[in-house]
Structures are given as C-alpha cells and as structure tokens.
Amino acid sequence: MGNLMLFAITLLKNSSGQPIKFDPSGIIPEGSFYYRGFLDNRLIIIKKREGRDGLSRNFKRAREEAIRDIIISMQMSTQKNVLKLLGCCLEFPIPALVHEYATHGCVLNDEGGFWSNESLPWKTRLRIAKQLASAITYLHTAFPRPIIHRHLRPHCIFLDDDFVPKLCDFSYSITILSEKSHVQDVVIKGTMWYLSPDFGVILLGFLAGRKLLAGHDDLIKSVKLHACDGQIQTIVDPKILDELGGGNEPTQLQLHDFLALAWLCSTRDESELRPDMIDVAKELMRIEKSIWPPC
C-alpha cells in the first residue's frame, strides 16, 4: 500500500504561486469539495472539506469520512482507473487529500450535462464505461472483504489527458462480508440517486448525455417505456446519433445492448435483478468488441 506523503499547507499553492485560499473559483466541479491547486509547480487536485467545530457530530463524521477516503485511496493506488492519491495535509481540522491532476475534469459539467470539454464519440464513452466498471470490480474483488463505494456519481469520475476515467471519493465506502452481494442501508448516506442502482444511472447518463437528477423517477420510467417501444432514438444523446448517422444494424444492436445493461443495473426496487459488477464489466467488454475488436 506504500507510505503516505504528508504535505505542509505552505506547499499548496494557487496558479499565481501564492498560498491557496480554497475560494469557489478553484472548485472543480461546482458544488464539490475538489479544488485545483499546485504542488512544486505541478497541477494537483485537492479535496478539502470545511470543518471548525471539533465537538460537533457532523465534524466528527466528516473527519472519519476523510480518513476512510485516505485509507481506501491508498489501497486502490495501483488501480489505473482510480485518481491517484499523492498524499494529504493534516494541518486542516479535516484532513485534505492531495490527488494527481485530471486534465479534463469530471464527466459532469456545471450545467448538469456530460462531457463538458467536448462531445466525446460513442466509442470513447463506451470505453470509459468499461474502464470504470473494471475499477469498481477491483473494489469488489481485490480485497479479503469487498469494498462498496456507496457514493458513485458523476462528480466522482475524473478524466485524464487521454480521457481515461479516474474514480475517487471513497468517503462513504464500507466493507461487507464476502458472501454478501448487496447492501441494505438502514441510514442512507451519500447521494440518494446514486446509492444501490448507481452504476446503472451513470451508464444511462453516458448514453443520454445528461445527468439523471435525484427524484426523477419519471425519467427512468420514460427510458423504460421508450426502450420497450423500440424508440431508442428518444433516449440516446443526439450527438451520438449524429455521429453514427443512423447507424447500421450492428451499431444499433450495440446501443440496444448498452441500454439494456444500463436499465438492468439501474433497477431500484429489485436488487436481486442487478448483476454483479464483474458480470457488468464482462458484458461491457463484449458490447465493445461486438463492433470494435481489441487492438
């Protein structure tokens, strides 16, 4: 797992080389705890949460979550699809995490749409989904006790220079007994909409090109309705349809298979129907290879 580097607060700078102030202009993306900064003239991402009252229950919980995030990020440091933890700064009330930089930010832009930097082609979106599934599968299978993320959402997925996904934010993660396949939260934590059917909702966002907001059950029902009627064009991001130009039969089948998998993974009330992540990863590999054979 390696040793954890500890950075003094004086080493964390802004773009002007001054001590970083953690003002809203440096947040990536808006509404998150992630800030753009510099360490030894190197771009970095700093995760910092506010916290002043050391006696409050919320403060203690936030501190525990930060420590959990550090521990699991260190455990996952060898996984190529995890945002690498460079170290942390303990001079704040709540420890700040110092991560490698991700050039293209997170997959969700400030307007609630995906792909804020440019319109990514369908092939790239599918590859990102496959690699993200591999990272989550690693969480579930690489350790004696499976680790469940419990907070998967677009803000937790960053993209590097080559649009390789980097998963982060393990604050709400838990370990479960190896014989268990699902988690029933008594106390709901994290983002409600991305708890148990989280990966399926992310997949639907990749396909539709927009975020599925909390409480939008009607949108999920609409996806199912249009899918059952064979109206996939009303679901898929118009940019994908324009790119494929209507598409041939194999391409249409690929989109249908991806949608079917996304829907199966996003089932909210029947958790036993959701496939294990290792099977999801295998299916995404199959879907990708159905048109584009491996290089």
User: 9-100: CATH homologous superfamily?
Assistant: Phosphorylase Kinase; domain 1 (3.30.200.20)
Q: Could you tell me whether strands 85-89 and 147-148 are parallel, antiparallel, or unpaired per DSSP bridges?
A: unpaired
- Residue 294: what residue type? P
Which residues, in sequence order, are CB contacts of 141 under 8 Å at separation 6+?
278
What pLDDT shows up at residue 193? 34
Contact 130, 72 (CB under 8 A): no
Contact 151, 171 (CB under 8 A): yes
Would you kindly state where each structural domain of the chain is located, as residue ranges? Answer: 9-100, 122-289
What pLDDT shows up at residue 114? 59
d(CA 179, CA 176): 8
d(CA 208, CA 238): 8
How is residue 218 written in tokens? 């009607």
CB atoms within 10 A of CB 103: 12
Which of 288, 252, 240 has the alpha carbon at shortest distance from 119? 240
d(CA 227, CA 46): 41
What pLDDT shows up at residue 209? 79
Q: Do domains 9-100 and 122-289 have the same CATH topology?
A: no
Tell me the torsion sign for CA atoms 262, 266, 269, 271: positive
State the DSSP H helix or E strand holding residue 280, giving kind and residue range, or none if neither: helix 277-289
State the DSSP H helix or E strand holding residue 273, giving kind and residue range, or none if neither: none
Instruction: Give the architecture (CATH level 2) of 122-289.
Output: Orthogonal Bundle (1.10)
E strand map for 176-240: none
d(CA 244, CA 240): 6
Full-model pTM: 0.85
Taking only the tens of pLDDT, the chain with its 295 residues reads 567 899 999 999 998 899 998 888 888 876 689 999 999 999 999 999 987 655 667 888 999 999 999 999 999 988 999 999 999 999 999 999 999 999 988 886 554 455 554 578 999 999 999 999 999 999 999 988 889 998 888 889 999 999 999 999 999 998 886 555 555 543 434 443 333 578 888 888 888 877 554 445 555 666 666 666 566 777 888 888 888 876 678 888 899 899 989 888 887 666 667 788 899 999 999 999 988 666 4
How is residue 7 written in tokens? 């950075």
What pLDDT shows up at residue 87? 97
